[in-house]
Amino acid sequence: MKFAARTYLVAVLVFLYLPIAVLVAMGFNESPLYALPFQFTTHWYEALASNAKLLRSSWNSVFIALITSLVATSLGTLAAVALSRREFRAKTWLRLLLLPPIAIPWLITGTAMLVFFFWTGIGRGFHAILIGHVALAIPYVVLVVGTGLATIRTDLEEAAMSLGARPVSAFLRVTLPLLLPSILGAALFAFAVSLDQFVVSYFLATPGFSTLPVEIYSAIRKGFTPEINAICTILLGGSITLFLFFALFARPGARRDSR
């Protein structure tokens, strides 16, 4: 039984990570057709440096993801605090409404946004993509930060207010530092959701402006080149670096809690 469980676990890990390993390796393979034997080269990274369309779309994706992360984290954190610490009508309904944007297929969401933006005059382009990404990321932020708030003792903030601190000051000095790891995790989640978003970006992009997923899709239709492997490897390295930074940042808090 243990052997079967371990075999299943190894199979799942291989299924998940082997394609990524192949993608990274082929970015350093000399053959543009992925022919073997493997011959190491950095040619495709040099070619990437002169691929203006791919670099521009990558910068568009990263820039939109950064703004989305900032805006969605700010709005989502405020919403999570309100849902966790305040009592008002329709509170249960608002919590339930957070789930459909996560559960509804993005194809339907993208179509609905395209129709709504044209109907309201917002149109397509950078601003429309940014609004769409923020709208998609906020529910994830609310859920992550809300989970973090549920683990924080409310009596700590109440004790600070009993000693003379104002509610805002008690929140900023007591609750916010304890909540910071959850906020950072939600920000990384929002960044990943935006960076990986294809459907909404594809529907709302205008000619001449595209994000990296849309550009990769267009490139695959015309002919796949290892330059795409190179840019994906760079983004993968950046994502792993952010993850490790967050893990190292959150570790001291975990040690304090264990004491």
pLDDT: which is higher, 196 or 32: 196
Q: CATH for 52-249?
A: 1.10.3720.10
- Provide the token pair at 257: 């809690």
- pLDDT at site 131: 93
pLDDT in tens, 174-185: 788 888 888 988
Contacts of 224 (CB under 8 A, 6+ apart): none
- pLDDT at site 250: 58
pLDDT in tens, 10-66: 999 999 889 888 888 888 888 777 777 888 888 888 888 888 888 898 899 999 999
Contacts of 247 (CB under 8 A, 6+ apart): none
- Provide the token pair at 31: 């053959």
Cβ pair 23, 233 in contact under 8 A: yes
- Provide the token pair at 173: 């000095």
The position carrying tokens 């015309």 is 222
Q: Indicate if the pLDDT at residue 255 is higher than 70.
A: no
Backbone phi and psi for residue 40, each to the nearest 5 degrees, phi listed first: -70, 140
Rounded Cα distance, 230 and 65, in Å:
20
Please tell me whether residue 151 adopts helix, strand or coil conformation: coil
Domain map of the chain by residue range?
Answer: 1-40, 52-249
pLDDT in tens, 213-231: 888 888 777 767 788 888 8
Rounded Cα distance, 24 and 236, in Å:
9
